[in-house]
Amino acid sequence: MLEIMEVPYEDKVVLNHLIQFYRYDSSEFDDHVLNNHGVYLYKYLDHQWTDHYRHPYFLKVDGELAGLALVLSNVPKEFVKVSTAEETNVISDFFIMRKFRNQGYGKQAAHKIFNEFKGAWEVRQTLKNTPANKFWNKVINDYTAGEYTEIIVDDEKWHGPIQVFQNP
């Protein structure tokens, strides 16, 4: 059974550990580089609890950590990539541990998160991350019954596809 729970500040170290797995897993697509201490840096870790619009979640399956979702809510339009809504929700980072992939947990988690935050959405993937792009297109197509747009952005701020949709 899938559970989505907000990450309390006391579990900051646990979230950072999951981010390490996430960064390692996506490094073949995103060019993340280990620092000299063998760690992938994530400059927004502390911001998860200081910025009111950030929502960090653990994803658990039968009580076991299975992934993470970092969500931004009600982001003003000047800070999103393609949405024209006054405020947009964004999946900032999303990760399912390999053990739990291809079992529907990622889709379930995404749909529950989309339902939690009403309004406009943007979901972004880097250009090289075709597995993520395939996943998100399927998940969002199922969620919206095909009522979404994918835009490829290639500018100084972003390189890759972005799916844009409204909660149905």
Domain span at residue 144? 2-166
CATH of the domain at 110: 3.40.630.30
Strand partners of residue 59: 4, 67
Question: What's the pLDDT at 77?
Answer: 80
Count of structural domains within the chain: 1
Percent of the chain with pLDDT over 70: 99
What sign does the CA torsion over 4, 43, 160, 38 have? Answer: negative
CA within 13 Å, CB half, 124 = 21
Higher pLDDT pick, 134 / 32: 134
Residue 76: per-residue pLDDT? 85
pLDDT at 64: 98
pLDDT band at 168 (very low <50, low <70, confident <90, very high): low
CA distance 133 to 103: 17
Q: What is the pLDDT of residues 135-160, one digit of tens each?
A: 999 999 999 999 999 999 998 888 99
Contacts (Cβ under 8 Å, ≥6 apart) of 146: none
How many residues does the structure list for the chain?
168
- Look over the chain and give the mean of its residue pLDDT values, rounded to a whole number: 95
Q: How buried is residue 166: exposed, middle or buried, by Cβ count under 10 Å (0-12/13-18/19+)? A: middle
Confidence at residue 158, expressed as pLDDT on a 0 to 100 scale: 86
pLDDT tens-place string over residues 26-79: 999 988 899 999 999 999 999 999 999 999 999 999 999 999 999 999 988 877
Whether 80 has a pLDDT exceeding 90, the answer reads no
Q: Is residue 23 within 8 Å of residue 42, measured between CB atoms?
A: yes
> Model confidence at 84, in pLDDT bands (50, 70, 90)?
confident
The predicted model gives 105-133 an average pLDDT of: 96
Q: What is the mean pLDDT of residues 6-30?
A: 96
